[in-house]
Chain A
Amino acid sequence: MEQGKEAIKPLSVKYIADMPYKYHAGYYYSRFLRELRDNKRIVGVKCPKCGKVYVPPRIVCRDCFVKMEDFVPVSDKGTLLAFTVTNFSYVDTTIGEPKKIPFTAAFIKLDGADSNIVHRLEETDEKKIKAGMRLQAVFSDNRTGDYFHDIDHFRIIKDM
């Protein structure tokens, strides 16, 4: 019998597994998603101790470590803090298909919120985007409370 590594031509084995998950949104995200779907409204939650407003809402204030229960609406307008235009594709694990490129990820501070969100910016030419721009949320016509899709994207507010 042939011996040694030279006698072997390496093989590889393909493994594809469907790993479905049903993520439990939890109480806070459930409220957030319902407000988007039913009231076209973005809500955050306010810390009873320091007054910070967190969007998306969550159970505990990061600084004070107290439970938050006070839901408050925040604006659908905000400021662009940072962005990137992604130009390479990879599998979107939510749908199992490659992502459509290019897409612009926008990191946004909504007016009234003390924490930030990430969403899609319509504009994909980086030369036309600058940190500090003002943005407006554009809601979907068909809102289902599924993921963050009820806001379809953000657009840059052009100066009048």
Chain B
Amino acid sequence: MKRRVGIVGVGQTHHRSKNTDCNGQELISIAVKMALENAELTMADIDAIVIGNMDHFESINYVDMWSVDGSGGYMKPIMKVTTGGTTGSAIGHAGFYHAASGLFDTVLVIGWEQNSESDTTAAISTCFDPITEREYSAGAIGPLAAHYIAYMSKYAATEEDAALVSVRDHNNAALYNPYAHLRQTIAVEDVMRSAYISYPIKLLDMCPRTDGACAVIFASEKKARKITERPAWILGVGDCHILVHLADGIGLANLPSLEIAAREAYEMAGITDPFNQIDVAELYIPASTAGVSWMEALGLCEEGGGPRLIRSGVTNMGGKLPINPSGGVLATNPIGATGLLRIGEAALQVMGKAEKKQVEGAKVAVATGFGGCFWSDVTVLSSLPGLD
């Protein structure tokens, strides 16, 4: 890496299922103002803006241009990046590259979504091939459900294992995250009793539809050190968009894109023993079932070891490797922002600014994004500029 880049500020809205009191632009401005305050900067300090969301949720074309009033981007360089569910992490990476290129010093990255404005599953379903796959792919939910069937068939995983993930993330949000959308304290029985929306995924296994925004400020090393004493350094990034045809991804029990993206990011960061070197993880887990079946892709356990890892409790707050202190995607899902929230929350952890969610002494964090045709992004962050 030629130029180090660090995150110096994070902002987000209070996520809700329906933000009736502000429109999209106003929603964005709330997150932007908070990030600027967090970093003690003004709009004049921002050199470039990257924004992302999923078009068909709000039915606005060219959101980079539309958002100018809310993003503060008037007469500034603005670009839009969108890759579906991974949009949040893709824009985070884009912001990183803006600063790492040396062309821009301070970059504002904004992810947002007003999911209440549309039929989310209908919109997501249009990502699948209209001729051969769209008809029977129920948005994000159907494919994730089928994916877990493949995992359960191959390894001894159960619906109860998934329920444990749901309990962990929901309770974290309830206890520690005042910004989260869903803040419910639940138990395994509550999950198991909730209705099937797409077998084997039940209502309490699935992420909500949320209106919300997140803003994260990236800065090149020299600038970052001037702005804050403890930036969250980006040590590694990896993006992997491996498939086009949904059915090809479902046949597999695991998540190759996450494996590949993690390998790239870990290598860049110098992580060789993820379970022991990572202090906290903010993972894009859109359904509790994924919280079981995707852990091995990150190198956190052996193949088929998801159930054992979850049942052991090490991923709960207070455990060796807390996952989703913020409550994760199961508690809050404004899709364009969700991946960025993972990066932002991970940054707050290593900056020591995570307040009630803070994992004591967290120095190395990993954030992931998921979306599209089983695609993944991985980011490694640290309070240290290098792991050596």
- Could you tell me which A residues sit within 8 Å of B by CB distance? 5, 10, 12, 15, 17, 23, 25, 29, 32-33, 56, 58, 81-88, 90-94, 99, 103, 105-109, 115-120, 126, 130-132, 147-148
CA distance A81 to B143 in the complex (A): 12
Chain A residues within an 8 Å CB radius of B250: 81-82, 107, 116, 118
Asked if A10 meets B134 with Cβ closer than 8 Å, knowing A82-B147, A107-B247, the reply is no
Chain A residue at minimal CB-CB distance from B18: A12
Complex contact A10–B59 (CB within 8 A): no
Chain B residues whose CB sits within 8 angstroms of the CB of A118 once the complex forms? 132-133, 136-137, 246-247, 250
4 closest A-B pairs (Cβ-Cβ)? Answer: A84-B145, A116-B247, A90-B121, A91-B122
Query: Given A116-B248, A116-B250, does the pair A29, B195 have CB atoms closer than 8 Å?
Result: no
Interface contact A116-B135, CB-CB below 8 Å: no
How far is B141's CA from A87's CA once the two chains are assembled, in angstroms? 11
Question: B153: which A residues are within 8 A, CB to CB?
Answer: 82, 130-132
Q: Which residues of B contact A87 (CB under 8 A)?
A: 195-199
* Cβ-defined contact, A115 with B20, below 8 A: no
The answer to whether A85 touches B251, judged by C-beta atoms less than 8 angstroms apart, is no
Q: How far is the CA of A130 from the CA of B149 in the complex (A)?
A: 9
Given contacts A84-B145, A117-B247, contact A90 B139 (CB under 8 A): yes
Q: Are A86 and B142 in contact (CB under 8 A)?
A: yes
Contact B199 A91 (CB under 8 A): no
Q: Of all chain A residues, which has the CB nearest B116?
A: A12
B→A interface (CB under 8 Å): 20-21, 59, 119-122, 125-126, 129-139, 141-143, 145-147, 149-150, 153, 195-201, 244-248, 250-251
Q: Are A115 and B142 in contact (CB under 8 A)?
A: no
Q: Is the CB of B20 within 8 A of A105?
A: no
List the A side residues contacting B248 at CB < 8 Å.
115-116
A134 to chain B: closest CB distance in Å?
Answer: 15
Q: Using A10-B21, A148-B135 as known contacts, say yes or no to A88 and B247 having CB atoms under 8 A apart.
A: no
> For B139, what are the chain A residues with a Cβ–Cβ distance below 8 Å?
90
Picked from A81, A91, A115, the residue with its CB within 8 Å of the CB of B150 is: A81
A17 & B199 in contact (Cβ 8 Å cutoff): no
- Interfacial chain B residues near A105, Cβ < 8 Å: 136-138, 142, 146
A94 touches B59 (CB 8 A): no
User: Which of A58, A93, A115 interacts with B247 by CB under 8 Å?
Assistant: A115
Could you tell me if A83 and B149 are in contact, using CB atoms closer than 8 angstroms? yes
B122: chain A residues at CB < 8 Å are 90-93
CA distance A148 to B134 in the complex (A): 10
- Note all chain B residues with C-beta closer than 8 A to A94: 130, 134-135
Distance in angstroms from A159 CB to nearest chain B CB is 19
From the candidates B130, B141, B247, name the one contacting A86 in the complex (CB within 8 A): B141
Beyond A90-B122, A90-B139, is A85–B199 a contact (Cβ under 8 Å)?
yes
- What residue in chain A is nearest B58 (Cβ atoms)? A15
A117 CA / B136 CA spacing, docked (Å): 11
Contact B150 A90 (CB under 8 A): no
Q: How far is the CA of A118 from the CA of B68 in the complex (A)?
A: 41
Contact status B131-A25, CB under 8 Å: yes
- Can you name 22 A-B residue pairings with CB atoms under 8 Å? A12-B20, A17-B59, A29-B131, A56-B131, A58-B244, A84-B145, A84-B149, A84-B198, A84-B200, A88-B138, A90-B122, A90-B138, A90-B139, A91-B122, A116-B245, A116-B248, A116-B250, A116-B251, A117-B247, A118-B136, A118-B246, A147-B131
Taking each of A23, A103, A118, A119, which has the highest tally of chain B beta carbons within 10 Å of its own beta carbon? A118
A103 to B: closest C-beta gap in Å: 7
Bound Cα distance A87, B102 (Å): 51
- Known contacts A87-B198, A93-B125, A131-B150; 18 additional CB pairs below 8 A are A23-B130, A82-B147, A82-B149, A82-B153, A84-B146, A85-B198, A86-B142, A90-B139, A115-B245, A115-B247, A116-B250, A117-B132, A117-B247, A118-B133, A118-B136, A118-B250, A119-B136, A126-B199
In the bound complex, CA of A88 to CA of B68 (Å)? 37
Complex Cα distance, B21 from A88, in Å, reads 28
- Closest approach, in angstroms, between the C-beta of A82 and any C-beta of chain B? 4
* Bound complex: CA A93 to CA B127 (Å): 11
Given contacts A82-B250, A85-B196, A126-B199, contact A147 B130 (CB under 8 A): yes
Cα distance A33–B224 when bound, in Å? Answer: 56
Complexed CA–CA distance, A87 and B142 (Å): 10
A116 to B298, CA, bound (A): 25
Cα(A88)–Cα(B198), bound, Å = 7
Smallest CB-CB separation from B252: which chain A residue? Answer: A81
User: Nearest Cβ distance between residue A135 and chain B, in whole angstroms?
Assistant: 13
Q: Is the CB of B135 within 8 A of A120?
A: yes
B19 to A, closest residue via Cβ: A10
CA–CA, A17 to B58, complex, Å?
Answer: 12
Q: How far is the CA of A91 from the CA of B201 in the complex (A)?
A: 20
**Contact of B59 with A86 in the complex, beta carbons under 8 Å:** no
Assess whether B247 is in contact with A108, with CB atoms less than 8 Å apart.
Answer: yes
A88 and B130 alpha carbons, distance in the complex (Å) = 20
